[in-house]
Structure 1
Amino acid sequence: MTLQLSPVDLLERLVGFPSVVGTPNGALMDFVVAYLSAHDVPCSLLKGPEGDRYNLFATIGDPSVPGYVLSGHVDVVPAQEPEWKADPFTMRREDGRLIGRGCCDMKGFVAAALAAVPALKQMDLPAPVHIALSYDEEAGCKGVPHMLSALPDLCAAPLGCIVGEPTGLVPVLAHKGKAALRLLAEGRAGHSSRPDLGANAIHALLPALTAATTQARALQAGPQDPRFAPPYSSLQIGTIKGGQAINIIPEAAQAEIEARAIAGVDPQSLLAPVLEALGEGVRAEWMSTYPALALDADHPLATLVAGITGQEPLGAVSFGTEAGLFQQAGVPSIICGPGDIARAHRPEEYLTEHELSGAVDMILALGRALAA
């Protein structure tokens, strides 16, 4: 492989892999492994239980010394919106914009980390810099827990983790946690004129759905954390499916409910009233869960990242990341990456060349701070 790939070239290559959440990512990871190997950077490819998706962990420096993790996910959301002006998996360059699915969320940060590798290798770092790439973050952070369980075998306990989700390269100290629950009801079909001979699956869901709406209202009273918008934990019913026709008793129905928790609140606990209200013929399954992030403003990691970005940390953001899971695993974490979250999950998603180069500069500043 050619050693000299610019940040833009690397992003173009990464975008070219259609690593949509829930699909195989082996081709992309093989590319990253080949690139790192060309720079003599050891890495571990960690197969997930799905069998066709991988996490990757690489280390620049001595893995037996505590260092810092640069974390990013390589999966992207689907790109089926008709507003795309061209193939979303072929990156386009227009007026300083790098356009393609994942450019902003968050292959831009991954490209920046990879682009910084040659310079980091030359710094003779006394503390290592790790690159951690995960899969299926967009499905509720399903991939990274498998990597975190292997972390003690991969390196000394890290001093901190920078999760490069798009924040405009402003450090962010906190985000809410999330839990998602699917309810599935089984009934018995029949003609609506004889409800006594059937069992209405939609009706069976109603006690749990009522409990959900009651809990949603109750959460507005607190506890509250003014760093978040809204400042309280929240709960909503996101989808309801069921029934074939108005005159057929529905034999199956389902609903999906999510809870978002402020720091210090277990997101799964917010759904306890829903689980307690499950009636006969209704079962629940967890779709995903991840904890909130909360890093103290005076933590050494916050001071470090403020120094390498020149930006004072922001209290909180409303979207979730893998940072809470790193924190739960004992790794202090902060969010800081290029781009704007408002561009994510949208057609014509883009990152500017200036934002990409700024992310490379931040990572090189981290290396210089460690080497100082």
Structure 2
Amino acid sequence: MLQETVKTLRDLIAYPTVSADSNLDMIAYLAARLEAAGARVDILRNAAGTKANIWATLGPDTDGGIVLSGHTDVVPVEDQPWSSDPFQMTERDGRLYGRGSCDMKGFIAACLAAAPALAKGAQRRPIHFAFTYDEETGCFGARHLVAELKQRGLKPAIAIIGEPTEMRVIEGHKGCYEYTTEFTGCAGHGSAPDLGVNAVEYAARFVGRLLGLAEQLKARTPQGSRFEPPWTTINVGQMNGGVAHNVIAPTAKLWWEMRPVLRADADFVKSDLKGYVENILLPAMRAVDPETDITTRIEGEVAGLEPVDQNAARDLVARLTGANGADVVAFGTEAGLFQALDIDTVVCGPGSIAQAHQADEYVEISQLEACLDMLSRLAGAPG
């Protein structure tokens, strides 16, 4: 299977599925390969028809079963010092180089190579393949997919998300919630600040509230949290606004994020900010000009994967890989979306996250071999 995996990975890397572009050509390739292995394949397009998820099933048409999930999109390569064509796989020193090689087309290639063996082992328990779009920009494809599963009443038992973990078993990661907050003030001459509404000043007050919340979140650290740092974090990524040093700033924009350990922390932050804006900031702004405003746009709210005591996915993958325990990681995945459907979920896949998004991204061949070993054992596992 290794030779077939390498060949398949070469094919997948050649599809330049950067998130800004369509993934439909790669989806067609995946569909053909899965259908050839005997899977029933659904192609689920986005509203614009420019991108799609794949949901494919081997074995009986029943509840339960195991999902093997990965995303098809990759991050851009512009302004990165690649030593070879990022969309042509090259092999050097036991490594396979190319954009997406570890994040996460290596896992997808292993799944395709293992599909015929998985089909033979799926007589009593279905094996599902979920390959999504736009994970890198907000997990939009996975959100679309899990909504479709919910609408159809489909309930797999276990989900394995093949993000690069060096085949370590990962049972938890923080969420990633990203926002853009825009401030509309009232321009005027800088010599008369009371006659206008300075959007930059109100943005700064909003940032101050965020920093205060960040400190409060440290006190909400769950007992025994294994994350580093162990509490929910807030980061102000970018702020800009205004037009000149002597003009009351008419607009400002703020990009910020939080990484919640618990969903309750995200609710706490959003509720506090809503009250602060509606009861403090907006009344002060609109006392000068009723047309002023503050709006927050959700760029993406990707739930974390919360470690739980009972997790059949963690226990299964630990048996398949021989792992003695499970870890948590800082980076985000689509796992929390599956967990929100009450599917036992774990993250485990080939490659290192340290290589993801980097120039000369690679996956080690030995990592693909370890992944294939896991999938081969899964094919032979009892239903």
1:74: Cα distance to partner? 0.8
Q: Which residue of 1 aligns with 2:161?
A: 163
Distance in 1 separating the partners of 2:177 and 2:238: 15
Q: Which residue of 2 aligns with 1:322?
A: 334
The answer on 1:296 being equivalent to 2:308 is yes
> Judging changes above 3 Å, is the alpha-carbon distance between structure 1 residues 83 and 303 closer, same or farther for their aligned structure 2 residues?
same
Q: Which residue of 1 aligns with 2:322?
A: 310
Q: Which residue of 1 aligns with 2:240?
A: 241
Q: Which residue of 1 aligns with 2:249?
A: 250
Correspondences of 1:120-199 after superposition (within 5 Å): 120-152=118-150, 156-193=154-191, 195=193, 198-199=196-197
Task: Provide TM-score, normalisation by structure 1.
Answer: 0.92
1:91: Cα distance to partner? 1.6
1:188: Cα distance to partner? 3.9
SS of alignment partner, residue 254 of structure 1: strand
Aligned length: 369
Aligned-pair Cα RMSD in Å: 2.2
Correspondences of 1:259-298 after superposition (within 5 Å): 259-263=258-262, 265-278=264-277, 279-280=281-282, 281-298=293-310
1:196: Cα distance to partner? 5.5
SS of alignment partner, residue 143 of structure 1: helix
Distance in 2 separating the partners of 1:366 and 1:332: 16
**1:318 aligned partner, one-letter code:** A
> Judging changes above 3 Å, is the alpha-carbon distance between structure 1 residues 207 and 153 closer, same or farther for their aligned structure 2 residues?
closer
Contiguous gaps of at least 5 residues in structure 1: none
- Structure 1, residues 184-232: CA drift from partner, whole Å, max 9, x if none? 1123445544546654321231221111011111212222343110011
**1:277 aligned partner, one-letter code:** Y
Distance in 1 separating the partners of 2:218 and 2:354: 25
- With 358-367 and 148-157 compared, the bigger mean Cα shift is at 148-157
Distance in 2 separating the partners of 1:87 and 1:268: 44
> Judging changes above 3 Å, is the alpha-carbon distance between structure 1 residues 36 and 216 closer, same or farther for their aligned structure 2 residues?
same
- Which of the numbers 37, 55, 65 marks the counterpart of 1:39? 37
Q: Which residue of 2 aligns with 1:74?
A: 72
Distance in 1 separating the partners of 2:35 and 2:327: 38
SS of alignment partner, residue 316 of structure 1: strand
Distance in 2 separating the partners of 1:65 and 1:277: 45
Q: Work out the percentage of aligned pairs sharing the same amino acid.
A: 36
> Judging changes above 3 Å, is the alpha-carbon distance between structure 1 residues 63 and 267 closer, same or farther for their aligned structure 2 residues?
farther
Distance in 1 separating the partners of 2:207 and 2:250: 18
Distance in 1 separating the partners of 2:176 and 2:204: 23
Q: Is the 8 A contact 1:181 1:287 kept in 2?
A: yes
Q: Is the 8 A contact 2:176 2:260 kept in 1?
A: yes
Q: Which residue of 1 aligns with 2:25?
A: 27
Q: Which residue of 2 aligns with 1:112?
A: 110
